[in-house]
């Protein structure tokens, strides 16, 4: 692919805000016609622009996905689909013991199965155009911190699915690329922090006795992590590179933290990683807990 594009279609899911919205704008500015997936009509009006066409996509809704495929098939200008950016996601952080199974299932439905469903629906078009699947993973797809079991579990699985898909589709001329962001200043991160805070209040008193300090430390760390993260617009530049590069890498990281952590995960023993992650989390514990 080149960046001097005549009109071609690109799908970006989760384009209401954050990295998805920034990626849709960036790709639109490069000459693509972007089908920007949003969940509400109010979001649609906010993102609509000359090269951005909002489409209602809840990636857990089969009817929405069927409508998306029909939109691509019936494009009035017969434009090819050059790429799908599977970006939609949610963050639900809580200890493995305390997170209800329905919340585990919700996390996997959105962050894994929804992406698979969208990919299955659009692969016939990508095969015709020799296009590209770009899956937005996370540094959490390489390292699973405490309370990130559900989120990282889905992201680890997305990494494995992407590796398998890349090997399946290579003979067909369809490329599969992973993007692994670290700290990025997005609304999703803020919503994840809010959900974690709400979850602490929903815990039983015995659960708070065991996990309350850990949850507060993780929340404090996430706030600090996000403040020092890159902007959504900078993250969008990396995603756009993954979409448009003629010979893309199999994986791109976003932010120096992601680049460092993904490398450490490859070379360090588990116990060493345990000590590093514990040391990084320690300053974020409530003072009383840290002194115990």
Active-site positions? 151
Contacts of 168 (CB under 8 A, 6+ apart): none
Q: How far apart are CA 172 and CA 33, in angstroms?
A: 24
The closest alpha carbon to 10, from 1, 235, 114, 40, belongs to 1
Residue 96 has, within 13 A of its CA and on its CB side, a CA count of: 6
Contacts of 150 (CB under 8 A, 6+ apart): 92, 93, 94, 96, 99, 103, 104, 107, 108
Token pair, residue 193, equals 């922090």
**Do 255 and 230 meet the contact criterion of CB atoms below 8 Å apart?**
yes
User: Which long-range contacts link 209-217 to residues 24+ away (Cβ below 8 Å)?
Assistant: 211/95, 211/97, 211/98, 211/147, 213/285, 213/286, 213/289, 214/95, 214/146, 214/147, 214/285, 215/94, 215/95, 215/147, 216/284, 216/285, 216/286, 216/289, 217/281, 217/282, 217/284, 217/285, 217/286, 217/289
The closest alpha carbon to 12, from 245, 246, 247, 240, belongs to 240
The closest alpha carbon to 137, from 9, 264, 251, 60, belongs to 251
């Amino acid at each position: 692919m080149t960046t001097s594009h005549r009109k071609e279609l690109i799908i970006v899911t989760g384009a209401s805000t954050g990295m998805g919205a920034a990626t849709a704008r960036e790709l639109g500015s490069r000459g693509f016609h972007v089908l920007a997936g949003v969940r509400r009509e109010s979001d649609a009006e906010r993102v609509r622009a000359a090269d951005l066409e909002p489409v209602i996509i809840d990636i857990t809704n089969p009817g929405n996905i069927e409508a998306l495929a029909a939109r691509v098939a019936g494009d009035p200008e017969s434009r090819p689909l050059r790429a799908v950016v599977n970006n939609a996601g949610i963050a639900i952080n809580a200890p493995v013991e305390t997170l209800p199974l329905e919340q585990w299932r919700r996390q996997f439905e959105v962050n894994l199965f929804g992406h698979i469903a969208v990919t299955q629906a659009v692969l016939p078009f990508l095969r015709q155009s020799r296009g590209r699947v770009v899956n937005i993973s996370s540094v959490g797809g390489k390292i699973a911190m405490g309370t990130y079991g559900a989120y990282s579990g889905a992201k680890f699985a997305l990494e494995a699915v992407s590796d398998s898909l890349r090997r399946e589709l290579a003979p067909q001329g369809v490329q599969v690329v992973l993007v692994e962001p670290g700290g990025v200043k997005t609304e999703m991160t803020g919503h994840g922090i809010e959900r974690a805070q709400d979850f602490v209040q929903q815990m039983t008193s015995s659960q708070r006795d065991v996990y309350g300090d850990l949850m507060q430390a993780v929340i404090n760390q996430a706030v600090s992590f996000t403040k020092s993260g890159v902007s959504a617009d900078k993250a969008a530049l990396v995603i756009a590179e993954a979409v448009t590069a003629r010979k893309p890498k199999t994986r791109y990281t976003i932010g120096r933290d992601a680049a460092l952590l993904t490398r450490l995960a490859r070379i360090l023993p588990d116990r060493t990683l345990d000590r590093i992650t514990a040391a990084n989390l320690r300053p974020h514990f409530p003072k009383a807990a840290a002194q115990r």
